[in-house]
Structure 1
Amino acid sequence: MRQPDKKMSPKAEKDNIRKKSFVHQQRPLYFTAAAEPLIIVEAPSPVRKVSKRRKSDKSKGTEEEAEKEYYSKQMTVIGDLSTQKQLKNAVGNGAAKFTQRRKKGKYSPNSTECESAARQPQKEEGILQSLRSYPTGVFFMLGNEFCERFSFYGMRAILIIYLVVDHKLSDNVAKVVYHSFVSLAYFSPLFGSILADNFFGRFRVILWVSLVYVFGHVLLSVGAIPVLDSLVRKTLDYSGLAVIALATGGIKPCVSAFAADQFGDDQQRQRTQFFSFFYFAINAGSLLAMGITPRLRTVQCLGADHCFPLAFAIPGLLMLVAFLTFLFGWRNYKITPANKGNILWKVVRCIFFALRRKMRNTCWGSKGRSHRRSPDHWLDYARPKYDEHLIAGVKSMLAIIVLYIPIVFFWALYDQQGSTWVLQARRMDGRIGWFTLLPDQVNTLNPLLVLILVPLFEAWLYPTTNKMCKVTPLRKMAIGTILAAVAFCMAGFLQIKVNDTMEPQPESGYVFLQRLGNHSGQFSVNNSDFILPAKLPDELKQKVHIGAENYTFSLLGGTNETPEEDSNNFNFSLNLGTKVPKSRVVGLFLLEDKSPVGVQFPYSTEKTDVGKTRFYFLLLPNSPLNGAKCYALDDQGKAVASSTMANGAFVDIQPGFFSTSQFYHIAFGDCAGGDERPKCAERIEVHARMGAAYVVDLVSSNNSEPVELVRPNSVNILWQMPQVFVMTVGEILLSVTGLEFSYSQAAPSMKSVVQALWLLTVFFGNIIDIVISQVQISDPVEEFFIYAALMFAVIGLFVLLAMRYKYVDEHNLEIPDSPERSRRSSDEYSSSSSDRRSDDDRLELGRGAVAGLPPPALIEKADR
């Protein structure tokens, strides 16, 4: 039992009561009541005046009761409670526990004992019960986001392949078009945010821009129809890409913010939980799109081997579904009108106004016209036109965006996963057992790894590493940039192996001549000393490197060493002008009646498109097989490809999604049974290795095995997985951490501006890709190592900037609203809020959603 206090003077008694006052840090406490959303309780100010009510507490009973009553009176509860009794119990328990601890002398100003006691939940709310309390409109937003992300990532996944295969663009030109599209998609959000904030509001921008989005997909799908004129197709395709880039950027800053608007102030917990579902919808849409859309393009339609109209139409259809889903939820939305004020535009005007006054003041000062004391910071010149809140926010923002300069180069490397890395995968063997992975499906691994690794890093890696060394956000971001450079070094070494499987190209002004046939004679060329021997120097491929001219081959007798003129002279003319393909197959035969004959056709030394295996036919002009139909049959006897036979004609075998064997049969001659499972008189077994080209000799009577013209893709596509994994880890360390770091270090009024500037780093990164692609580096190996070297150089700059950066507590970024609050010292907190990412800090980030800003770590993939 507590002993009565000794008699003391009124002043001493007053001082004693003040000492016993609870000095609390000014940060929100989070209580979870049973079956209730998150309750935010605002703690009292750190310095308090003792109220008259407090002075009379002694007459009411024990000091514990007075402490409990005072503590309860100072709180403001945001949100609905099932019963007020639950909050009183939680507050009472926390206050009583604090008083008891204070009596034992264990109280310290940084103690959070009361927070811990009050934050303990009475009863966890079930997921289904929580979903029932969601506003109806957010479910329409989830469906809208899933479909929109499917449409964007679906068409983006196959874009680089479409430009190379269908438009026949070179790799460098295709990369310029691809990165121009991506850069525009990340620059246009600035216009979308201005339209939403200043003119139309988020609802109208999403509604009308989504309709424009659908129109862009229609243009792209129609432009992919192969029967249209080339100029018409290019006009439709490039117009469609521009419209899609503007549309996706237009709705990007509005969708997540509009979804957050649907929750009330008393639904903080539901709002935070909702963005977990929102994040899942984004990744699910992108994951399915990257897996399905590349398969759709492999369908044969409209007389072409690829069905790009279908592959682009399905994402367009999903965007139409996204628009209709959003439209159907109209009556359930909470629509907030435009506030006629865009913070980004205010920031730009504030900066330019301060710079103009700074320059004017500098000029006047040099002439002796100004005797006023110069401000401490150049932004202070914006006073008094702009208020202190805005100026302080801009200062905090400028301190952060300096660190964004090196991050631009990270995005220059990262976004090449959809261009350069896909082009690298085209030259690799995609067969993995019975399964075939297409080159534009490799990026499916990225969202899958993000879904797996982000929770793993948060729950295990970061806490474990923090026990050994201090892990700050800037250190994680620096490691992310290093991993990006390492990933490109890995890609460079892999490309060296891929280059070994590439067919060498003839020098300028020369062609490769591939000799086939059963004729064993030698030929003089243009009646000169140059002889085309029966056995060419290239023993593997019987290939010779000669100038691109017009030739006459004259048959010689004798041997390779002692050629003599043959009495039965045979002349064979060959036009190898510079405008013809760089390689030719020449077939020289000796027929059964001993008469010589020669045939020839051009072929390409380039690899076939996306892993196809090509088989050329070598036929005589009077062969009965000319004009006949041939089929490529799988091991089940099903026709997978067909062609009309002729000299130089070919049939392409495309690897199936599932295939039990790499061996096929080329069937021709008298065929019956229809085109699906034909039964033909003649069959030749062939080994269809991805990327290779062969010639099938149908002149010789023995139907010898196909001769290899172009080497197959022998490097398996799984060797690309390590670099994808390393790049994804780098993305998690830099992208997710970087945006969350920016949010924690920027003033609350600048958080939306920081998000916009973060998107601009992606824009400038793709501009770097465009510039380097315009240089047209011929060897991909050199290009990979150039990017890696640039990234390593930039890492040094980033480390220097990070070493000079001083962390600020995100709570100290608030503009003081009272003299007492302004006296708060940062000494009450630890050195960095980012170094002590407690649950309260993470939930505090979620409070940005009240102003239309969702938690950055959860919606990062929406911005990517």
Structure 2
Amino acid sequence: MELEKVDDASDTRKLNEDAHKNGEVKVHKSGYPKHVFFIIGNEFCERFSFYGMRTVLVLYARNYLRFDDDSATSIFHAFTMLAYFMPIFGGIIADSYWGKYKTIALLSIFYVIGHGVKTLAAIPYIPSRGAHIGLSMLGLFLIAVGTGGIKPCVSTFGGDQFTLDQTHYRSQFFAMFYFSINCGALISKWLTPMFRADLDCYPGEEGPEFQECFSVAFGVPGALMLLAVVLFFAGSKFYTRVQPEGSVFWKFCKCVYSACKNRWLARKANSVKKEHWVDYADAPKRLKRDTKYVLRVLYLFIPLPFFWALFDQQGSRWTLQALQLDGYWGSYQVKPDQIDVINPLLIVTLIPLFEATLYPLLRHCKINFSPIRRMAVGLVLAGVSFICAAILQFNIDAGMTSVPAPDQFAIRLINVGPCDVNLESSSEVFNGLVIGSNDVSDTKSNFFPGNTSVSLNISSCGGSFLHQLDIARDDGVVADVIIGGNGSSLYSSIMPTRKLENGKSIFTFINVDASHELALNSSMFMFDLKPGQRSNEIEIDKGFTSYGVYIDDSSRGQRLVYNGTVESLPGGVYSVIMNSQSSGLGAVEFAPGRRQLDDINPNSINIAWMIPQFFVLTVGEVFLSVTGLEFSYTQAPPTMKSVVSSFWLLLVSLGSVIVLLIAKTHAIDRQAHEFLLFAGLIGVAALIFVFLARGYKMVDENEFRSSEDEEEDTDERTSLAA
């Protein structure tokens, strides 16, 4: 998860000094200002709300709103882009117009309304898909405005509650504030997928929209956001409220604009060239000086959006990758959107571990691991994590079953007779093909365009039989054509090709016994099958399931004729052929000890294989994000720390723009190749960062203080001379 800027002690101290002079600050010399716990509780609930909703967002767009993978990814990153773009406006509004308290209060109400609209959109009883999409987009917009607008205000508002003699207490507050952020994210990323997948919100209802409980998965985070608002308002009468004095960010933008405009005019007028282009600005000397410092930092920020482009795909592309894996860790099933919890777990572990071991060891060995070098390594590690993701995806793809495209149709021939069959056909695929007794043809190359006619001349021990297959389907399905008797009869039905993403398997049973109606009974299913009939799709949990086969006997009534067992693995699709041509009535054995067909291969790779890519990316985050926060804070002048913080959040937004552009072009068919593309892009970004950082000289914070002292001395001398 991203680390948020929570310690702006210098700005807070300045505001407290000014407010203290004006008699606006309540002094808490007697002890800790306990009302800040309302702010800490508010932040915990708000972060639970934000991350909980965002964790299930990509699956909501894909499974519930029925968008394809690229569109679902685009929705996720468009929301992230807006959420991290809004802090700029939230900061300007708070600093220039409303103040922090009013900004947090009003935008939090928008936030709650957004959650309410989003939850309403997830209730499947609304008949129109367009209504679901419209309400969802409106809810996401309001949530993005709310979370982005309050993001730059809450931590500094908490800092405003401390007086000058409470520096130690203020440090404790920021530590607890940061802890609440991580706790909220960690708990919500674990629980919200369970609400989505494990709750049966609509018992008895059928249809894909009723299979997952997105209404509760969004409703619980919405309730937490409502609680966040209640907690915030509960402390209202105790808060210290610093009045807005104008946005530093806005002053910075005006300074840059003025410098660009005046420099352009000076060039046209052939005026004397100044040392730095910012010197052309119509602004106070200190503002121009501070603007130069900020621009030096922003210059290094240019390649960093590529890191966030990769980082935020943990919640989009990597979640979709987890859908293709076996989520079972022993008996517990990890949800695909739950795997992202690894990131905050590693963050709270690695940060103190590195501070206590790695960095002291490097200093002891006299290895210069400067902030800029850490950030460069962070960029490289992000690329390595996507190479790991690509390798995993290549292995996933290697085990996937080929299925026809939406404009195609496939045929699978199954011979359940006692003799081999020889085929002569109008299709080159089947012409000259020999299918042994109790054998199956390969479907990988048996793809036909829609509305195709195929003739089959079947020769077997019973003679020669001509059959005509008219294919009038083109929706990407597979037809099972079962050759019965001695080639004289055909049974045709549609084989399921969809995979379940809940850890279960799909089974269908086909009765090819020409004489008996079969009754199948187990703890998980019960149904009757007429001759030539295929059962409905049956969802079966991972493991072994036993069943019994019964027939009606006119003299002895219904009797058990066979006990069978099926084995299911996550994501597998299987067919079981019920036949009585061999030893008694039972399932045909297509290979020794095998009584079922693997229609679609199961998810054979465990989700634990995603841990390496999460680990590498999180180490990269610690090196780049944590170090980048410290770097931007120490390298920015005291009056401009909020400006640099705003641009830091803007980098996240620009990263999502990069993902949006690549996802919407649909230029890359294979996901593994897209992962490699991102790895290559951030490799280039790392090289650019190293090039830009070559001439950068770290600024000692004392340099800012000495510059301010010099300016104060100059102002004093000027005043005395006057």
Q: How does the TM-score come out when normalised to structure 2?
A: 0.84
Per-residue displacement from partner, 1:557-597 (whole Å, max 9, x unpaired)?
A: 336xxx9634xx6x46442432x323222233339xx9735
Residue in structure 2 matched with residue 269 of structure 1 by the alignment: 168
CA gap of 1:707–1:166, structure 2 versus 1, over 3 A, is same
CA gap of 1:335–1:621, structure 2 versus 1, over 3 A, is farther
Taking the aligned partners of 2:188 and 2:429, their CA distance within structure 1 comes to: 61
1:725 is aligned to 2:630: no
Q: Is the 8 A contact 2:453 2:470 kept in 1?
A: yes
CA gap of 1:197–1:648, structure 2 versus 1, over 3 A, is farther
Taking the aligned partners of 2:313 and 2:541, their CA distance within structure 1 comes to: 26
Residue in structure 1 matched with residue 538 of structure 2 by the alignment: 651
Taking the aligned partners of 2:292 and 2:650, their CA distance within structure 1 comes to: 19
Equivalent residue for 2:142, pick from 218, 240, 243: 243
- CA offset at residue 437 of structure 1? 1.5
Taking the aligned partners of 1:718 and 1:477, their CA distance within structure 2 comes to: 28
Taking the aligned partners of 1:608 and 1:517, their CA distance within structure 2 comes to: 28
Residue in structure 2 matched with residue 423 of structure 1 by the alignment: 320
Residue in structure 2 matched with residue 327 of structure 1 by the alignment: 233
- Supply the AA of the counterpart residue of 2:297: I
CA gap of 1:820–1:224, structure 2 versus 1, over 3 A, is closer
SS at match of 2:120: helix
The runs of 5 or more residues in structure 1 that have no matched partner are 1-37, 43-78, 83-131, 634-638, 656-661, 671-679, 824-864
Residue in structure 2 matched with residue 850 of structure 1 by the alignment: none
Q: Is the 8 A contact 1:524 1:532 kept in 2?
A: yes
How many residue pairs end up in the alignment? 657
Taking the aligned partners of 2:393 and 2:539, their CA distance within structure 1 comes to: 25
Residue in structure 2 matched with residue 470 of structure 1 by the alignment: 368
CA gap of 1:540–1:783, structure 2 versus 1, over 3 A, is farther
1:755 is aligned to 2:645: yes
- CA offset at residue 201 of structure 1? 1.4
Residue in structure 1 matched with residue 566 of structure 2 by the alignment: 686
What are the residue-to-residue correspondences of 1:611-650 with 2, within 5 Å? 611-619=503-511, 633=523, 647=534, 649-650=536-537
Q: Is the 8 A contact 1:157 1:294 kept in 2?
A: yes
Residue in structure 2 matched with residue 782 of structure 1 by the alignment: 673
1:209 is aligned to 2:107: yes
- Supply the AA of the counterpart residue of 1:721: I
1:444 is aligned to 2:346: no
Residue in structure 1 matched with residue 350 of structure 2 by the alignment: 453
Taking the aligned partners of 1:643 and 1:155, their CA distance within structure 2 comes to: 40
Taking the aligned partners of 2:231 and 2:565, their CA distance within structure 1 comes to: 52
Q: Is the 8 A contact 1:163 1:174 kept in 2?
A: yes
1:404 is aligned to 2:306: no
Taking the aligned partners of 1:799 and 1:806, their CA distance within structure 2 comes to: 13
Deviates more, 1:298-307 or 1:514-523: 514-523
The percent of aligned pairs where both chains have the same amino acid is 35
CA gap of 1:239–1:785, structure 2 versus 1, over 3 A, is same
SS at match of 1:406: coil
- Supply the AA of the counterpart residue of 1:418: G
Equivalent residue for 1:357, pick from 253, 262, 268: 262
In terms of Rg, which structure is larger? 1
Per-residue displacement from partner, 1:103-146 (whole Å, max 9, x unpaired)?
A: xxxxxxxxxxxxxxxxxxxxxxxxxxxxx932122111111111
1:802 is aligned to 2:686: no
Equivalent residue for 1:696, pick from 541, 556, 576: 576
- CA offset at residue 255 of structure 1? 1.0
CA gap of 1:168–1:817, structure 2 versus 1, over 3 A, is closer
Residue in structure 1 matched with residue 10 of structure 2 by the alignment: none
- CA offset at residue 397 of structure 1? 0.1
Q: Is the 8 A contact 2:118 2:135 kept in 1?
A: yes
CA gap of 1:668–1:240, structure 2 versus 1, over 3 A, is farther
Taking the aligned partners of 1:490 and 1:597, their CA distance within structure 2 comes to: 48
Q: Is the 8 A contact 1:601 1:648 kept in 2?
A: no
CA gap of 1:713–1:201, structure 2 versus 1, over 3 A, is same
Residue in structure 1 matched with residue 634 of structure 2 by the alignment: 744
- CA offset at residue 392 of structure 1? 0.8
- CA offset at residue 225 of structure 1? 2.2
CA gap of 1:608–1:447, structure 2 versus 1, over 3 A, is same
The runs of 5 or more residues in structure 2 that have no matched partner are 1-12, 18-25, 552-559, 589-594, 715-722
Taking the aligned partners of 1:747 and 1:623, their CA distance within structure 2 comes to: 89
Taking the aligned partners of 1:457 and 1:163, their CA distance within structure 2 comes to: 38
1:770 is aligned to 2:668: no
Q: Is the 8 A contact 2:405 2:476 kept in 1?
A: no
Taking the aligned partners of 1:784 and 1:527, their CA distance within structure 2 comes to: 39
What are the residue-to-residue correspondences of 1:114-125 with 2, within 5 Å? none
Taking the aligned partners of 2:528 and 2:120, their CA distance within structure 1 comes to: 29
Per-residue displacement from partner, 1:597-631 (whole Å, max 9, x unpaired)?
A: 51311432x543254311123357999989x9976
- Supply the AA of the counterpart residue of 1:323: V
1:301 is aligned to 2:201: yes
Taking the aligned partners of 1:351 and 1:222, their CA distance within structure 2 comes to: 45
- Supply the AA of the counterpart residue of 1:322: A
SS at match of 1:755: helix
SS at match of 1:197: helix
Per-residue displacement from partner, 1:781-827 (whole Å, max 9, x unpaired)?
A: 1111111111111111111111110111112123645559879xxxx
- Supply the AA of the counterpart residue of 1:414: F
- CA offset at residue 181 of structure 1? 0.9
Per-residue displacement from partner, 1:135-161 (whole Å, max 9, x unpaired)?
A: 122111111111111111111111112
Taking the aligned partners of 1:622 and 1:589, their CA distance within structure 2 comes to: 9
- CA offset at residue 324 of structure 1? 1.4
Per-residue displacement from partner, 1:186-221 (whole Å, max 9, x unpaired)?
A: 001112112211221111221121121121112222
Q: Is the 8 A contact 1:428 1:717 kept in 2?
A: yes
1:142 is aligned to 2:27: no
Q: Is the 8 A contact 2:483 2:490 kept in 1?
A: yes
Per-residue displacement from partner, 1:275-306 (whole Å, max 9, x unpaired)?
A: 11111111111111111111111123322221
Q: Is the 8 A contact 1:643 1:650 kept in 2?
A: no
SS at match of 2:458: strand
1:175 is aligned to 2:73: yes
Taking the aligned partners of 1:507 and 1:758, their CA distance within structure 2 comes to: 44
1:230 is aligned to 2:129: yes
Taking the aligned partners of 1:422 and 1:724, their CA distance within structure 2 comes to: 12
Per-residue displacement from partner, 1:695-722 (whole Å, max 9, x unpaired)?
A: 1334653134221111111111111101
Q: Is the 8 A contact 2:310 2:678 kept in 1?
A: yes
Residue in structure 1 matched with residue 154 of structure 2 by the alignment: 255
Taking the aligned partners of 2:561 and 2:120, their CA distance within structure 1 comes to: 42
Taking the aligned partners of 2:659 and 2:527, their CA distance within structure 1 comes to: 40
**Structure 1 residue runs of 4 or more that deviate by more than 6 Å after TM superposition:** 79-82, 536-541, 620-626, 628-631, 641-646, 667-670, 680-683, 820-823
- Supply the AA of the counterpart residue of 1:349: K
Per-residue displacement from partner, 1:40-91 (whole Å, max 9, x unpaired)?
A: xx9xxxxxxxxxxxxxxxxxxxxxxxxxxxxxxxxxxxx9999xxxxxxxxx
SS at match of 1:402: helix
Residue in structure 2 matched with residue 547 of structure 1 by the alignment: 448
- Supply the AA of the counterpart residue of 2:544: F
Residue in structure 2 matched with residue 583 of structure 1 by the alignment: 478
CA gap of 1:602–1:466, structure 2 versus 1, over 3 A, is same
Taking the aligned partners of 1:313 and 1:81, their CA distance within structure 2 comes to: 39
Q: Is the 8 A contact 2:412 2:446 kept in 1?
A: no
Per-residue displacement from partner, 1:314-367 (whole Å, max 9, x unpaired)?
A: 11111111111112222222222333x1111111111111111110010011xx
Q: Is the 8 A contact 1:692 1:710 kept in 2?
A: yes
Taking the aligned partners of 2:441 and 2:430, their CA distance within structure 1 comes to: 20
Residue in structure 1 matched with residue 377 of structure 2 by the alignment: 479
1:558 is aligned to 2:463: no
SS at match of 1:587: strand
Per-residue displacement from partner, 1:426-447 (whole Å, max 9, x unpaired)?
A: 1111112222212111111111
RMSD of aligned C-alpha atoms? 3.3
